[in-house]
């Protein structure tokens, strides 16, 4: 097993799931024992207001493989995953939700795909979902948009059931609401062997969903954010300079047209409107000013990067022979 202390680390964010935790733990324990897998179960209490932490503490006392981490308040799923990733000691790191909708029976198959088939990240695909239409239809739309933007051919980016190489989770930073786009973060950091596995999806057994319609608004904004970060964080001038050039040339072209049209009409003794009486002239001025401002924004962003001490903080996968 080399340097890894466990075959698998299970990272499970928990937010008010006291009813499901004992059943989830027993299910995971049964699967690990049946397949002779050594594993740790990392349960992150994300500011629970029910008795979830008491259950986690009891499970940790009974099972030495259970690791309990407690946040002082609710920081969100991304923060919980990032904290769990940093604690993981297993060769394969698997994330799943605590509400029993993700099946622990998928663990051996995911481990096999990472260890034996060489995938760096395997994302679950809930091909048959037990969710209402108001949840599945927007989800399909966002998955389609994310596929187009990222170029990653996955059907279910937001599936909580995923498996990773340990090295991958140590080299990405998950914050805000970016847990939905971990495959994009992985690809950005050079981990391109990203696969997919159809997984079983169970209907929620206890409680109710913790997410509302606002998740879709946040998801769209996060997609814009991660797209900018992955494509232009090292070269912001490529974005701002391109937009600035387009805006400046548009304004300059409109201005040249207006002046040329006036000179043409004067030469041919036709009725002439004063330049400042034409709304198009003021739009061209705005376009010129916006173009200059975008250029300045790009230059300032480039100067900031040049003065950043971590501008050459590249990820290196190193292997040495003893």
Domain assignment of residue 154, yes or no? yes
The answer, yes or no, to whether residue 211 has pLDDT greater than 70, is no
> Do 205 and 219 fall within a single domain?
yes
Domain assignment of residue 1, yes or no? no
Closest Cα partner for 195 from 156, 244, 169, 226? 156
Average confidence (pLDDT) over 164-178: 90
Please classify residue 286 by burial: count the beta carbons closer than 10 Å to its beta carbon, then call 0-12 exposed, 13-18 middle and 19+ buried: exposed
What is residue 102's DSSP assignment?
B
Domain boundary among 217, 232, 247: 232
Q: Which domain holds residue 241?
A: 236-306
- Of 253 and 224, more confident: 253
E strand or H helix that includes residue 193: none
The answer, yes or no, to whether residue 131 has pLDDT greater than 70, is no
Of all residues in the chain, what percent carry a pLDDT higher than 90? 51
> Do 132 and 268 fall within a single domain?
no
Strand order in the sheet with 194-198: 66-70, 39-45, 6-14, 90-95, 162-165, 121-125, 194-198
The answer, yes or no, to whether residue 204 has pLDDT greater than 80, is no
C-alpha gyration radius of the chain: 26
> Do 106 and 175 fall within a single domain?
yes
> Do 198 and 294 fall within a single domain?
no
> Do 172 and 25 fall within a single domain?
yes
Domain assignment of residue 265, yes or no? yes
- Of 161 and 225, more confident: 161
Domain assignment of residue 167, yes or no? yes
Confidence of residue 143 (pLDDT cuts 50, 70, 90): confident
The answer, yes or no, to whether residue 205 has pLDDT greater than 80, is no
* Interval 81-92: pLDDT, tens: 999 999 999 999
> Do 73 and 39 fall within a single domain?
yes
What domain count does the chain have? 2
């Amino acid at each position: 097993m080399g340097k890894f202390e466990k075959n698998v680390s299970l990272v499970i964010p928990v937010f008010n799931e006291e009813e499901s935790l004992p059943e989830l733990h027993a299910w995971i324990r049964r699967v690990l024992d049946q397949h002779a897998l050594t594993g740790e179960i990392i349960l992150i209490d994300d500011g629970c207001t029910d008795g979830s932490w008491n259950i986690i503490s009891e499970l940790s006392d009974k099972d030495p493989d259970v690791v309990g981490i407690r946040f002082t308040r609710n920081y969100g799923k991304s923060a919980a995953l990032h904290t769990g990733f940093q604690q993981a000691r297993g060769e394969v790191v698997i994330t799943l939700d605590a509400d029993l909708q993700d099946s622990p029976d998928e663990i051996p198959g995911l481990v096999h795909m990472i260890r034996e088939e060489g995938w760096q990240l395997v994302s679950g695909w809930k091909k048959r979902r037990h969710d209402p239409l108001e949840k599945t239809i927007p989800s399909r739309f966002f998955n389609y948009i994310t596929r187009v933007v990222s170029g990653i051919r996955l059907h279910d980016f937001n599936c909580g059931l995923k498996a990773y190489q340990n090295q991958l989770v140590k080299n990405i930073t998950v914050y805000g609401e970016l847990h939905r786009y971990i495959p994009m973060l992985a690809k950005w950091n050079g981990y391109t062997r990203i696969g997919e596995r159809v997984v079983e999806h169970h209907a929620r057994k206890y409680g109710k969903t913790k997410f509302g319609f606002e998740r879709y608004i946040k998801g769209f904004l996060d997609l814009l954010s991660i797209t900018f970060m992955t494509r232009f964080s090292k070269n912001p001038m490529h974005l701002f300079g391109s937009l600035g050039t387009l805006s400046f040339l548009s304004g300059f072209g409109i201005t040249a047209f207006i002046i040329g049209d006036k000179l043409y009409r004067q030469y041919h003794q036709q009725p002439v409107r004063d330049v400042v009486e034409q709304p198009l002239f003021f739009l061209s001025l705005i376009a010129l000013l916006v173009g200059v401002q975008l250029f300045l924004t790009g230059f300032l962003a480039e100067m900031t990067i040049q003065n950043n001490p971590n501008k050459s903080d590249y990820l290196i996968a190193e292997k040495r022979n003893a």
